[in-house]
Amino acid sequence: MDGTSKVRPGRTPEEEPGIRVLPAPDGVAVVTVTGDVDLAGAGRLGTAVGQALAAGPAALVVDMRAVTFLDSSGLDQLVEARRACAVAVVPLHVVVAGNRAVERPLEVTGLVAVFTLADSVEAVAETLDATPAADEDHHHDR
C-alpha cells in the first residue's frame, strides 16, 4: 500500500445522491433518497425533510430503497429527521425493503430500534389508512 488509497473511491453517476420530496395522497410526504448518503450529500437529506415537514404532512416517509451507501453523516441526518418529526408531531417511517446498505448501519448502531422501518411506501400508506379504522372498531367494542 502506498498510503493514498481511499475508503470510498470517486462516485459514479449512479452513486450521486438524489433526493426528491413528493407529496403523496392523504397528506403523506415522501422523501425519496438514491445513491450515496455520506458527508458530501447528507445535508441535502436534512433540507428535504425540513421542506417536507413545512407542508404539514400527516406522516413522513423517507424512502431509502435505492441508497447505495450510508455513513455516519447520513445516520445523523436520519436522527435529526426523527427529532424534527417528533417536534412537529408527525410520524416518521423509513422504507428500507431489505436494502443492506441501509439496514446494516442501522443495525450496527442500534438505530434499527429507534425507527419505524417498512418495506414500501405503499405498506406505510396502508398502515396509516388502517389506523383510523382500527380506532373506530375499538370505539364500537365499548
CB atoms within 10 A of CB 97: 16
User: What's the burial of 103, exposed, middle or buried (CB within 10 Å: 0-12/13-18/19+)?
Assistant: middle
State how far the Cα of 86 lies from the Cα of 14, in Å rounded to an integer. 33
Distance linking the first and last C-alpha atoms of the chain: 71
State how far the Cα of 142 lies from the Cα of 138, in Å rounded to an integer. 7
State residue 123's pLDDT score.
Answer: 87
- In one letter, which amino acid is 26? D
Distances (CA, A) of 134 to 25, 45, 50, 138, 139: 20, 33, 30, 6, 9
Q: Which residue has the cell 413545512?
A: 54
pLDDT per position as a tens digit, 75-98: 999 999 999 999 999 999 999 999
Query: What cell does 70 get?
Result: 450510508
State residue 25's pLDDT score.
Answer: 59
pLDDT per position as a tens digit, 25-79: 578 999 999 999 999 888 899 999 999 999 899 999 999 999 999 999 999 999 9
